[in-house]
A and B are shown apart, each in its own frame.
Chain A
Amino acid sequence: MATVRKFHLPHYPSYPIYISTFKNVENAAFLRSQLLEGNPNFDYAFLDASTILSLNHILLPAFLALSLHTSGRAKTKTVHSELVFRLHPNNNIAESFKKFGIGDSSRNIIAVKIGGFMKEGQDEVAEESVSRHLGEVVQGDSTDPGERGERLGEECEMEKVRKMYKLESGAGGGGKKGKKIGNTGEAVNGMGGEEKDRKEMESVVLGVITLKGS
């Protein structure tokens, strides 16, 4: 059995979001092949944990995927593929999977399953079956994402995320070119410097995801 945490978007209470995290994964290539083959038992978004900053970094694309999927405006087949697509700043689907999805050599992964596309009252069953299924198919150490998802960014590679969302300030009127967002390392208001950097990066990343492709 894998540790699964359940989250609810306030605006989509009937679509619970299950999140599991794994370290030292040995069979990423197998998991990815199941996604590629379209195995119906593998209806997940499998993310490379090095690209995810925080819980909100998953919840916003999940919100957008649900919003677009339920209104017939999604660009991809399933709500899970839409979630991965929404993470990427550009409109390239293949690129989104390459950058944010699980790769053959991924060691740390995040599995996201959006429930609720089933009959009512199946909620608890789903949570248990997600836990059992992931426990069986993922060869790796299940870790706890935390009750509030506070441990979701632990395997994040900040430099990688900074690059993917182009978080160096670009050309503007200003002379402060090349300044990096969320790279101050300063501690402010009792908040550790790293936590503050992560928060600041998240606030830009959510905006970039919102603006995706527009």
Chain B
Amino acid sequence: MASAAHPEPIEPIQPLQPPSGRPRGGHDQHTLPAPFLPDACEPLTQGAEALVYRTHFLTPQTPAVLKYRPPKPYRHPTLDKRLTKARLLAEARVLVKCRREGVSVPAVLGADWEGGWLVLEYVGGGTVRGVLDGWVHRLPELSREGNSETISEGRKKSEEEEALWELMRKVGRAVGRLHEIGVCHGDLTTSNLMVRDEEEYTENETNLPPSGDIVLIDFGLATQTIQDEDRAVDLYVLERAFAATHPAAEPLFQEVLRTYGGSFKGAKSVLRRLEDVRLRGRKKSMLG
């Protein structure tokens, strides 16, 4: 039973703190590129590089996400324009490539490289991070109801756990498909994995995670590569994101890897490389 003693579920998405080097008095939320108007743009996040808004595009019935990279006053204007354009283009190219080849990502609806903006299809739903956080918050409650805290092999899974495991298999397949077409994400965290849900994922009564497709978002750091190393680093970043959620999420990530391993021809060798990447990661953290 949920009770008032339980903490509020944390927001699935936390805006990034701007780095300390960010210039003061820079862009505020009202500085939008033409022809976008503040009235129609609801701020979603304000990252280090991009401002992200929820808005609509082409018709009032087409919900969209506006990613705007405002000019950086501390950079030379010509260089700044060129960098902004190159990054937006790279992101849009990878998204269109994915969409062309059937990998589930937001569609590109429009852009103006000179203006510094990109408009994407709005994905209704929540992030995998939100789903995991919701589950972690209910862990004490779940164990009181007679489920053990960790998902052990022998025990029969509850309906919620079964849905969660199915979600993990979808994550494994989605990442596998992405790598298979020659794209590495570059920032594969659980916040950048969305679960499509047209009815907007909320803390629903059943606590079941939404059953929609996985949509990969945020391709600002993506590269076109088929190197085992790059692929393994993607998996390592995702592993760290799972570990940061809760120790109990470890078996869930194993299910992601298991599914990934069977999802395309080169996947097994990526999993072997992942072990090297882990070792290096550990050494680095011991030094640091």
Residues of A within 8 A of B92 (CB): 207, 210-211
**Bound Cα distance A12, B112 (Å):** 15
Majority-rule SS of B interface residues: mixed
B56 within 8 A of A: yes
Known: A10-B59, A207-B96. A179 touches B111 (CB 8 A): no
Structural contact, B108 and A206, CB atoms closer than 8 A: yes
Within the complex, the shortest CB–CB distance from B38 to chain A, in Å, comes to 13
Interface residue count on the A side (C-beta < 8 Å)? 33
**Bound Cα distance A63, B57 (Å):** 10
Structural contact, B99 and A204, CB atoms closer than 8 A: yes
Chain A residues in contact with chain B, CB under 8 A?
7, 9-12, 55-56, 59-60, 63-64, 67, 71, 73, 148, 167, 169-170, 172-176, 179, 181, 203-204, 206-208, 210-211, 214
**Binary interface encoding of chain B residues 221-238 relative to chain A, with 1 for a CB under 8 A from any of its CBs, else 0:** 000001000000000000
Structural contact, A60 and B100, CB atoms closer than 8 A: no
**Bound Cα distance A7, B101 (Å):** 32
Determine which of A10, A56, A174, A211 lies in contact with B40 in the assembled complex, contact meaning CB atoms within 8 Å. Answer: A10
23 residue pairs of the A-B complex, CB under 8 angstroms, read: A9-B58, A10-B56, A10-B57, A11-B36, A11-B57, A56-B59, A56-B62, A60-B58, A64-B110, A148-B59, A172-B182, A173-B179, A173-B182, A174-B177, A174-B264, A176-B102, A179-B102, A181-B102, A204-B96, A206-B108, A207-B96, A210-B111, A211-B92
B109 within 8 A of A: yes
Residues of B within 8 A of A73 (CB): 114
Structural contact, A173 and B109, CB atoms closer than 8 A: no
Chain B residues in contact with chain A, CB under 8 A?
34-37, 40, 56-62, 89, 92-93, 95-97, 99-102, 107-114, 121, 177, 179-183, 226, 264-266
Closest A residue, CB atoms, query B93: A211
Residues of B within 8 A of A176 (CB): 101-102
**Bound Cα distance A71, B114 (Å):** 11
Within the complex, the shortest CB–CB distance from A185 to chain B, in Å, comes to 15
**Bound Cα distance A180, B157 (Å):** 39
Residues of A within 8 A of B56 (CB): 10
Known: A11-B36, A12-B35, A175-B265. A169 touches B101 (CB 8 A): yes
Residues of B within 8 A of A167 (CB): 100
Within the complex, the shortest CB–CB distance from A179 to chain B, in Å, comes to 7
Residues of A within 8 A of B112 (CB): 67
Structural contact, B107 and A203, CB atoms closer than 8 A: yes
Known: A172-B182, A208-B96, A211-B92. A55 touches B110 (CB 8 A): no
Residues of A within 8 A of B113 (CB): 214
Determine which of A7, A11, A71, A207 lies in contact with B108 in the assembled complex, contact meaning CB atoms within 8 Å. Answer: A207
Within the complex, the shortest CB–CB distance from A68 to chain B, in Å, comes to 9
Within the complex, the shortest CB–CB distance from B176 to chain A, in Å, comes to 10
Q: A73-B114, A207-B99 are in contact. List 16 more A-B contacts (CB 8 A).
A: A10-B40, A10-B60, A11-B57, A12-B35, A56-B62, A63-B110, A169-B100, A169-B102, A173-B266, A174-B264, A175-B180, A181-B100, A204-B107, A206-B108, A206-B110, A207-B92
Known: A12-B35, A73-B114, A181-B100. A210 touches B59 (CB 8 A): no
